[in-house]
């Protein structure tokens, strides 16, 4: 039971993060650009400068999170 709960929790977090990326892509990227390794900051700045790529990533995360969540329920 715990593995399914963990997967569902991860799906919820993934969907939520994806929604934020769609709604506020630049701000979300800049939030993560302030800390971490230099390579991570470079990627965050890239997405901040190209918000449509971040929106696409967010939509992909939402779809993947929904797919993952639905796999946790038994077939009826």
The answer to the question of residue 1 being in a domain is no
19: in domain: yes
Q: Decide if 2 is inside a domain.
A: no
Q: How many domains are there within the chain?
A: 1
The range of the structural domain enclosing residue 52 comes to 11-70
Surface-to-core class of residue 47, CB atoms within 10 Å of its CB (0-12 exposed, 13-18 middle, 19+ buried): buried
CB 10 within 8 A of CB 61: no
Q: What's the predicted TM-score (pTM) here? A: 0.84
- pLDDT in 10s for each residue of the chain, 76 residues: 788 889 889 999 999 999 999 999 999 999 988 887 888 899 999 999 999 999 999 999 999 999 998 888 777 5
């Amino acid at each position: 039971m715990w593995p399914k709960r963990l997967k569902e929790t991860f799906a919820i977090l993934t969907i939520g993060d994806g929604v934020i990326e769609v709604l506020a892509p630049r701000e979300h990227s800049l939030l993560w650009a302030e800390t971490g390794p230099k390579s991570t900051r470079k990627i965050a700045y890239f997405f901040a400068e190209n918000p449509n790529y971040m929106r696409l990533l967010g939509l992909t995360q939402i779809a993947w999170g929904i797919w993952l969540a639905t796999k946790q329920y038994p077939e009826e």
